[in-house]
Structure 1
Amino acid sequence: MPHFPVNHPARPLYRAFAGLVGAYILVFGVWGLVETWGQPLFDRGSHWALGLRTNLAFSLASVAFGIVLLVGASRRGNLGHYMNLTAGVVFMVTGVAMMSVLQTSANFLNFSMSTVIVSMIFGLLLLATGLYDKVGPADHAEAERRGRNHTIASPR
């Protein structure tokens, strides 16, 4: 069974980080929509928003993802936990995939290396928040804490 801390004391801080990432992505997407409106969906032009290259498709996806992340960060249950874990993996996989096609015509989201780096950083942040924002009943959290502090694992 994987070890996910339950009711971690810094959970509100981690949710705030996820909310900030979601807010940045939403603002980036809206700014990108303004910059690329009227252009072809998968245009490879030189449109930049908040320091990252974009096109209309990437801006639309960013608006949707930003909204999803903000909804996940605002929920008190485990929905945000699973959303952050999933979003972290999506950002990491997208960053690696787009980096592999950066200088080809397959770069349909118009990524630049700075966009890849930001995608990887956001993926790591969201994975970290997903690992530490799990919610559970007090007895489950206590059992998890006891298992973590078992005498075998404790130094003498």
Structure 2
Amino acid sequence: MSHFPINHHLRPVYRVVTALISLYFLVFGILGFAQTTDLSFFAQTGTKMVLGMKANPAFSVLAMVLGAVGLLAAVLGRNIDVKVNWWISSVHLLVGTAMLAFLRTDLNVLGFSMSNVIVVYIAGMLLMGAAVYGTVGTPAEAEAEESFRHSH
């Protein structure tokens, strides 16, 4: 298994990036849900453009949940954010891949367009990067990991 850095010097930057991504999805979800209340939950036509992505009520709710959980984790920190970022980034990448596969079919239940896929993929990769470099540990743990990584 590969080894990830502990107490990376850019960890605060990654937490801010995580918080901003989560805030974007939370705001998108709230605005998207407010603007799509007249649509059916899994509407594929008539979706509204919100903050550069198409929204239907289902995707808006998913975005609100992922955004709220991610923002809470970013605020809490203490390696909770690392675990949450792994899960949220995985959800982003899986949803992005599924919606890319179903983009022009009846299975596009989240009403995605190509811009949605791109934004969700970029967010997923940034969150995964934050998870890789966000681990906090004692100085002794960080030194042990660093010496192990450079001993080969």
Ranges of 4+ aligned residues in structure 1 off by more than 4 Å: none
Q: How many residues align?
A: 151
Q: Is 1:134 paired with 2:135?
A: yes
Structure 1 unaligned regions, length at least 5? none
1:40 is displaced (CA, Å) by 1.1
Q: Is 1:13 paired with 2:13?
A: yes
Residue 107 (structure 1) aligns with: 108
1:76 is displaced (CA, Å) by 2.5
Residue 122 (structure 1) aligns with: 123
1:58 alignment partner AA: F
1:146 is displaced (CA, Å) by 1.1
Question: 1:35 touches 1:48 (CA, 8 Å); kept in 2?
Answer: no
Q: Is 1:50 paired with 2:51?
A: yes
User: Deviation string for 1:29-74 (max 9, x for gaps)?
Assistant: 0110111013211111231111101101111111111100101111
TM value normalised by structure 2:
0.95
Residue 88 (structure 1) aligns with: 89
Relative to structure 2, which stretch is displaced further, 76-85 or 38-47?
A: 38-47
2:99 alignment partner AA: M
Trace 1:3-42 onto structure 2 (pairs within 5 A): 3-42=3-42
Matched residue of 2:49: which SS?
Answer: strand
1:132 is displaced (CA, Å) by 0.2
Matched residue of 1:84: which SS?
Answer: helix
Larger Rg: 1
Question: 2:36 touches 2:47 (CA, 8 Å); kept in 1?
Answer: no
1:85 is displaced (CA, Å) by 1.3
Trace 1:47-86 onto structure 2 (pairs within 5 A): 47-86=48-87
Q: Distance in 2 between matches of 1:42 and 1:65?
A: 18
User: Deviation string for 1:82-125 (max 9, x for gaps)?
Assistant: 11111111111111110000000100000000000111100110
Structure 2 unaligned regions, length at least 5? none
Percent of pairs with identical residues: 39
Matched residue of 1:53: which SS?
Answer: strand
1:80 is displaced (CA, Å) by 0.3
Q: Distance in 2 between matches of 1:94 and 1:41?
A: 17
1:92 alignment partner AA: L
TM value normalised by structure 1:
0.93
